[in-house]
C-alpha cells in the first residue's frame, strides 16, 4: 500500500522536518503534494533526491489525498482542514486549532494510541511541551501514580518557527559584537536573554476573555494543563506549568517536580523510565553530565535524567527532561500518528 500525502506549511520548520521523517522512516508515500502560501508557491523542496514544486494551498488542493499533515498555523488549519476532510482525507493537525475541540482526538501515540480510532477526519497533535513532558510522566503515572507535577520549561526558538531560529543566531552575533540589531519575529530581546513565554497572556481584561488560559496564565502554560487532562483522561493528575523562552535553538528542556500518590524511590523511577516508550535515559552522574538541548536536537527520543528526591516534600521527586521541539514535539509525533493510522502491521 501507499499513502497520498499533502503537507500544509511545507516550507516551515515543522514542514521540512516532516519531509525528512517521511524519508528517514521509509513511510510508503504514494504521492507527495507540498502546499504553502502563495508567497512560497513555485519554490522547490527535495524529497528522496527528487525536487518537488510547492503549490499554493487552496480549498481544491486535496483531491485524491489520503493524509494531510498540517503545520501552517491555526487559522490556516481552521480554514482548510474542513475542505481536506470533505475531500476524504484524514488531517493530522500540528496547530492548536482543534486540540480541545470535543470529538477531535488529541494523541500522543505512546500515551493514548486508542484515541486515534475515534477520529472523524481530524486528529490533533498536542503542544510540544506537553508531548515532551508526557513521555516520561505518563508511564510514571501508570506505574506509580502521579498526584501533581510542577513543570518549569526552558523553551527553544524553534517553537516560534524557522525564522525565529535564524533571528536568534543573527541577533546573538550582533549583540556579541556590540552591533545594533532589528528584530522582526520575536517580540523581546532574545540574544543572551530570556522571558516568560510570549504566547498570548490573559491579564483579565475584556479583550482577553476568549483566550484559552485563566487569568495570570499564558496559553502555552494552559495547554500543558488542559491538553494533559484530555490526553490522559485523568482529572486527578494535576499540572502546574511555568513556560519560559530561552535562547536555545531547537530543543525544549523541562524541570519536573513530581509528587506521587505513594512512597517510591529513585530506583523505581529509573526502572519505569528505562522501559518507557520513546524515552531514553542519558546521563553520566560521575561527570555531572545530563541531557542538554544539543543532545536532543534532531533526535527522536525524549531524553531524561537527574532523578532525585525532593527533600522538602513527601513522595516528591525531581526529573530533568529534554526533547527536540520540532521532532517529538511536532513532526515526529504527527508521523507516528500517521503510521498508526495507515500502517497497522
Does residue 268 touch a copy of itself according to CB under 8 A?
no
Does residue 218 carry a catalytic annotation? no
Long-range contacts of 232-235 (CB under 8 A, 24+ apart): 232/111, 232/112, 232/134, 232/138, 232/141, 233/112, 234/141
Rg (CA), the chain: 20
Site string for a copy of itself, 148-177 (x = CB under 8 A): x-x-x-x-------------xxx-xx--xx
In which element (H, E) is residue 140 found?
A: helix 128-143
180 binds a copy of itself (CB under 8 A): no
- Distance of alpha carbon 91 from its chain centroid, rounded? 17
Query: Shortest approach of a copy of itself to residue 226 CB, angstroms?
Result: 11
Q: Are 23 and 47 in contact (CB under 8 A)?
A: yes
Indicate the residue among 310 and 339 with the shorter CB distance to a copy of itself. Answer: 310
Residue 128 designated active-site? yes
Cell of 33: 503534494
For residue 5, the cross-strand partners are: 32, 67
Grid cell locating 31? 504521492
Q: Among residues 128, 197, 218, 243, which one is catalytic?
A: 128
According to the binding rule CB under 8 A, does residue 210 interact with a copy of itself? no
Q: Which helix (H) or strand (E) holds 220?
A: helix 219-232
Residue indicated by cell numbers 501507499: 2
Residue 131 sits in the site that holds a copy of itself (CB under 8 A): no
Using rule CB under 8 A, residue 229 touches a copy of itself: no
Positions annotated as catalytic residues are 128, 252
Enumerate binding residues for a copy of itself (CB under 8 A): 148, 150, 152, 154, 168-170, 172-173, 176-177, 187-189, 191-196, 198, 200-201, 203-205, 214-218, 225, 238-240, 242, 244, 246-249, 253, 255, 257, 266, 285-286, 288-290, 292-294, 306-313, 316, 318, 320
Amino acid at each position: 500500500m501507499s499513502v497520498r500525502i499533502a503537507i500544509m506549511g511545507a516550507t516551515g520548520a515543522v514542514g521540512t522536518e516532516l519531509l525528512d521523517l517521511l524519508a528517514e522512516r521509509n513511510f510508503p508515500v504514494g504521492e507527495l503534494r507540498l502546499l504553502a502560501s502563495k508567497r512560497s508557491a513555485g519554490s522547490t523542496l527535495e524529497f528522496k533526491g527528487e525536487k518537488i514544486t510547492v503549490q499554493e494551498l487552496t480549498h481544491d488542493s486535496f483531491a485524491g489525498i489520503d493524509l494531510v499533515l498540517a503545520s501552517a498555523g491555526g487559522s490556516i488549519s481552521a480554514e482548510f482542514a474542513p475542505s481536506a476532510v470533505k475531500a476524504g482525507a484524514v488531517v493530522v493537525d500540528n496547530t492548536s486549532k482543534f486540540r480541545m475541540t470535543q470529538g477531535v482526538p488529541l494523541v500522543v501515540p505512546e500515551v493514548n494510541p486508542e484515541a486515534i480510532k475515534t477520529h472523524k477526519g481530524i486528529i490533533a497533535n498536542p503542544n510540544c511541551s506537553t508531548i515532551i513532558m508526557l513521555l516520561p510522566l505518563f508511564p510514571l503515572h501508570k506505574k506509580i501514580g502521579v498526584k501533581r507535577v510542577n513543570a518549569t520549561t526552558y523553551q527553544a526558538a524553534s517553537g516560534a518557527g524557522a525564522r525565529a531560529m535564524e533571528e536568534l543566531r543573527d541577533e546573538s552575533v550582533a549583540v556579541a559584537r556590540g552591533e545594533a540589531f532589528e528584530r522582526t519575529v520575536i517580540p523581546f530581546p532574545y540574544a543572551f536573554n530570556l522571558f516568560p513565554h510570549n504566547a498570548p497572556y490573559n491579564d483579565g481584561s475584556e479583550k482577553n476573555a476568549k483566550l484559552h488560559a485563566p487569568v495570570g496564565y499564558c496559553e502555552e502554560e494552559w495547554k500543558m494543563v488542559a491538553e494533559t487532562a484530555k490526553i490522559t483522561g485523568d482529572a486527578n493528575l494535576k499540572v502546574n506549568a511555568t513556560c519560559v523562552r530561552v535562547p536555545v535553538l531547537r530543543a525544549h528542556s523541562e524541570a519536573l517536580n513530581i509528587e506521587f500518590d505513594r512512597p517510591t524511590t529513585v530506583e523505581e523511577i529509573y526502572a519505569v523510565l528505562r522501559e518507557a516508550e520513546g524515552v531514553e535515559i542519558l546521563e553520566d552522574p560521575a561527570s555531572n553530565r545530563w541531557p542538554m538541548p544539543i543532545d536532543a536536537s534532531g533526535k527522536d527520543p525524549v531524553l531524561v535524567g537527574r532523578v532525585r528526591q525532593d527533600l522538602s516534600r513527601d513522595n516528591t521527586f525531581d526529573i530533568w527532561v529534554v526533547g527536540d521541539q520540532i521532532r517529538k514535539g511536532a513532526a515526529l509525533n504527527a508521523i507516528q500518528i500517521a503510521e498508526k493510522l495507515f500502517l497497522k502491521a
